[in-house]
Chain A
């Protein structure tokens, strides 16, 4: 449940949440847009499964990190856009720092070995 994503060590689930927040930090996007953007930015390394994407939206929305809004797309369709909230931005910064700290530590260990 939500608690797992809170702990900085919840790597896999927390990672997806972080990626979503990072993508939304640039501009509000709808579900499909987010999935495409993650794929593009990660140069195809992350192919995000919609099955885990939507629960992540729900989690982040409940936590108040993103705010939904129905808007019209470039193809003139109605879609639910998500925008980063100020508390989401702070959360992203915290998570990013934590992530950097951890990866640096792991990299150091791996480099030593």
Chain B
């Protein structure tokens, strides 16, 4: 058929739907005319009118069949039948509001859970990144072997940036950026902002243009920071420069003026929640800068090709700069993967969980529908007697199930919209807060997914009862729809199977929930290595201009500690350069004396600079040797303190005190180990802390690692006003930020785990409830169905006890099957969960036993009511039925 003909057919079908009654009459008239014409023909040939009419009618055949066939020739007919099925289904739903609402809610929860999680997945993996052709964008990072044999990723060394950027055979363009926190001065109040220094190549690589004003010129990009121009985020512009003009407004960063030449698009704060972007030129000889590097692949290049090339380049660089880049290699990853990172684990882990939930909901609804279909045998017997084919009957139940699931889908979407905001923690902050991407919520993807899931769930609910036997099929009116149990062993088996399947699914959900909760509890109970309660943390970043070198910075650090210690309520005060739960870290490559023959001997350690008494303030125990003193300053003997694990790892079975270490870079002095302190857990969820060394802040105050000073005060939070006052007394430009109790810092690192654990526990509890309902439904249906049999047994002298055990025996068989299969599955689930939640031991019977116990209780409760009902059966009434 041509397209035009198709359109015409569709239009005609639509018209027919509108005026189906007139159409019907026309068809009738047409058939009558046929008979008349045939009769006239015969009469004209001399047949008598009576015989002619009879003969004509016989020629035509059964008009009802012809009408039916003719109607079926248009597509509108199918639609009409569906509509009829749906209307019938809707009437059935209205007749049983309780039954209907249970099913709709059950499916709604199943679909809603999936839609909510898949909404998160949509944001993580499918929503377009705001860059042009993001699938060509890579992130390049330095990597070095981690302590556990894994590879840790770092920002890129300036030497590597220069080498990678030169590979025009691989990369069409690259951009390198570093981040620093600077203070806006000269306005009403000082404010810390994140400033990104970005190289030329931003435009070609990321392609994000300012929404107002202009981008940097080539000349400005060549001159770098000295050009004195800046771009600002939309939010910063509104907050501080509302009313000013782009191109003339001046931003003072640590006292240096920058002319604002453009405003970035609203919501765009990439990378690192940037407020300000300034031009920058990489100096390959410069050490101690970490660059975030992004590259756009040349068309035709693939990630594996880039990786191979980077491996070759890394090998050459390692040979050439053995002292500077020990063990380093350049890692290339797709931008999306790098942005989503490992934070996506929790949401990915929840996908099978919600899938199980939906499956459980479907099995549950299937059970209910099957039980009802058996109860509606009489109705379907009547329909069959009136000529409904088996196909028609199946289609009818399909329509009913899809209708129910559709309502469930609507409930699900509403539910997903309600749940989604709680799940925003599962999305890495950079996607939503830096790239302005849509957070999970009700959107077309979620609605579309829900619609698909609804139909799928409806079909599953209708089809599941058909598996394992033509349950409830071919009923006859002779049975009177009474449906005695003896007639339907297959439907009973199917019901039992469905109920057992629900138990299995519930056990799987519960064991998953138990593992997640166990993980959370283990993390909360974890020995952090610091006394986090009563420890106040705040950050001060002295400006480079006011404190340009190590000497001035060392003096400042000492003054700050002294003033803080004087504040009433502060029992100990110190400064460190890294908050272990703050999310950022510094690393160093370290070489042991006696093992300094090759770069392969370099070891990656956490690099933290501290003032004296910092360990006391943080509650980190000093295990051996001594703490730093104020005499460990520039000019003094270079010293270091190592963590317990580091001591064990570097000098197993030996005393670490007096050993010497140095940073793996030429010209670095040897440092003598003077103390060993306890291990500190870090923000990552791993069970074991990495190895850490601490160096005296006063000896390294001029290094980039000392840019941020994290003040650690053992004090009540009420002292903050005094703290701010003292800081202002030292230098009014010193602003304290990221002020928080250490407890809260740690609690925040557990947010994702908590959301995950709570979500899955709620889902598990709901699964258990569903399973209970399912077992209850099957058991009470079974009792109702076998009332006659129970009556006979009682009439023959069975005691109440015997009847009870008769009912419970069936439940016990069900439970045993469910428990055996479920426990086997639970062991697998646990192994899987444990593989990405290291705090969970792989074995451990506790949760499984708990789940099993919960199930036994649930089954017992679910059986009790039907069992009691069975004992109350009056044999006389039962037998007379």
Interface on A for B, CB 8 Å cutoff?
1-3, 6, 30-33, 35-36, 49-52, 54-59, 61-65, 73, 75, 77-80, 87, 91
B71-89 Cβ-contact flags toward A at 8 Å (1 or 0): 1111100000000000000
Of A6, A57, A65, A77, the residue contacting B33 (CB under 8 A) is A77
A32, B33: Cβ atoms closer than 8 Å? yes
Interface residues of B in 56-94 (CB under 8 A from A): 59-62, 65-66, 69-75
Of B12, B30, B59, B69, the residue contacting A62 (CB under 8 A) is B12
Given A2-B75, A50-B60, A73-B37: A61 in contact with B12 (beta carbons within 8 A): yes
CA–CA, A41 to B66, complex, Å? 24
Q: How many residues belonging to B are interface residues under a CB distance threshold of 8 Å?
A: 33
For A76, the closest partner residue in chain B by CB is B40
CB neighbours (8 Å) of B69 from chain A are 51-52, 54-55
CB neighbours (8 Å) of A61 from chain B are 12
Given A50-B60, A51-B69, A80-B33: A75 in contact with B8 (beta carbons within 8 A): no
The smallest C-beta distance from B67 to any residue of chain A, in angstroms, reads: 8
Q: CB of B828 within 8 A of chain A?
A: no
B245-268 Cβ-contact flags toward A at 8 Å (1 or 0): 000000000000000000000000
Of A1, A50, A80, the residue contacting B26 (CB under 8 A) is A80
Given A2-B9, A62-B74, A64-B12: A54 in contact with B31 (beta carbons within 8 A): yes
A1, B73: Cβ atoms closer than 8 Å? yes
A79, B5: Cβ atoms closer than 8 Å? no
22 contacts between A and B (CB under 8 A): A3-B1, A6-B1, A32-B41, A50-B61, A50-B66, A51-B62, A51-B66, A52-B69, A54-B31, A54-B66, A58-B73, A59-B73, A62-B9, A62-B12, A62-B13, A64-B9, A73-B40, A77-B36, A77-B40, A78-B29, A79-B37, A80-B26
CA–CA, A21 to B33, complex, Å? 20
CB neighbours (8 Å) of B34 from chain A are 30-32, 35, 50
Interface residues of B in 122-180 (CB under 8 A from A): none
The smallest C-beta distance from A50 to any residue of chain B, in angstroms, reads: 5
Q: CB of B845 within 8 A of chain A?
A: no
Given A36-B41, A62-B13, A64-B12: A79 in contact with B1 (beta carbons within 8 A): no
CB neighbours (8 Å) of B5 from chain A are 63-65, 87, 91
B1-22 Cβ-contact flags toward A at 8 Å (1 or 0): 1101100110011000000000
For B59, the closest partner residue in chain A by CB is A50
CB neighbours (8 Å) of A51 from chain B are 61-62, 65-66, 69
CA–CA, A55 to B34, complex, Å? 14
For A1, the closest partner residue in chain B by CB is B75
A75, B1: Cβ atoms closer than 8 Å? no
CB neighbours (8 Å) of B73 from chain A are 1-2, 55-56, 58-59, 62
Q: CB of B38 within 8 A of chain A?
A: yes
CA–CA, A79 to B35, complex, Å? 11
Given A32-B38, A33-B37: A49 in contact with B70 (beta carbons within 8 A): no
The smallest C-beta distance from B187 to any residue of chain A, in angstroms, reads: 73
For A3, the closest partner residue in chain B by CB is B1
Interface on B for A, CB 8 Å cutoff?
1-2, 4-5, 8-9, 12-13, 26-27, 29-31, 33-34, 36-38, 40-41, 59-62, 65-66, 69-75
CB neighbours (8 Å) of A80 from chain B are 26, 29-30, 33
List the 3 shortest-distance A-B pairs measured between CB atoms, nearest first: A32-B37, A64-B8, A79-B33
Q: A55-B66, A79-B33 provided; 17 other pairs, C-beta below 8 A?
A: A2-B9, A3-B1, A30-B37, A33-B37, A36-B41, A50-B61, A51-B61, A57-B70, A59-B73, A61-B12, A62-B74, A64-B4, A73-B33, A73-B37, A75-B40, A80-B30, A87-B2
CA–CA, A31 to B34, complex, Å? 6
For B16, the closest partner residue in chain A by CB is A62
For A36, the closest partner residue in chain B by CB is B41
CB neighbours (8 Å) of B71 from chain A are 58
For B40, the closest partner residue in chain A by CB is A75
CB neighbours (8 Å) of B29 from chain A are 78, 80
The smallest C-beta distance from A97 to any residue of chain B, in angstroms, reads: 15
CB neighbours (8 Å) of A63 from chain B are 1, 5, 8-9
For A31, the closest partner residue in chain B by CB is B34
For A56, the closest partner residue in chain B by CB is B73
CA–CA, A30 to B30, complex, Å? 9
B70, A54: Cβ atoms closer than 8 Å? yes
CB neighbours (8 Å) of B61 from chain A are 49-51
CA–CA, A78 to B36, complex, Å? 10
CA–CA, A32 to B44, complex, Å? 15
A31, B33: Cβ atoms closer than 8 Å? yes
CA–CA, A77 to B71, complex, Å? 25
CB neighbours (8 Å) of A55 from chain B are 66, 69-70, 72-73
For A74, the closest partner residue in chain B by CB is B40
CB neighbours (8 Å) of B37 from chain A are 30-33, 73, 75, 77, 79
CB neighbours (8 Å) of B62 from chain A are 51
CA–CA, A65 to B4, complex, Å? 11
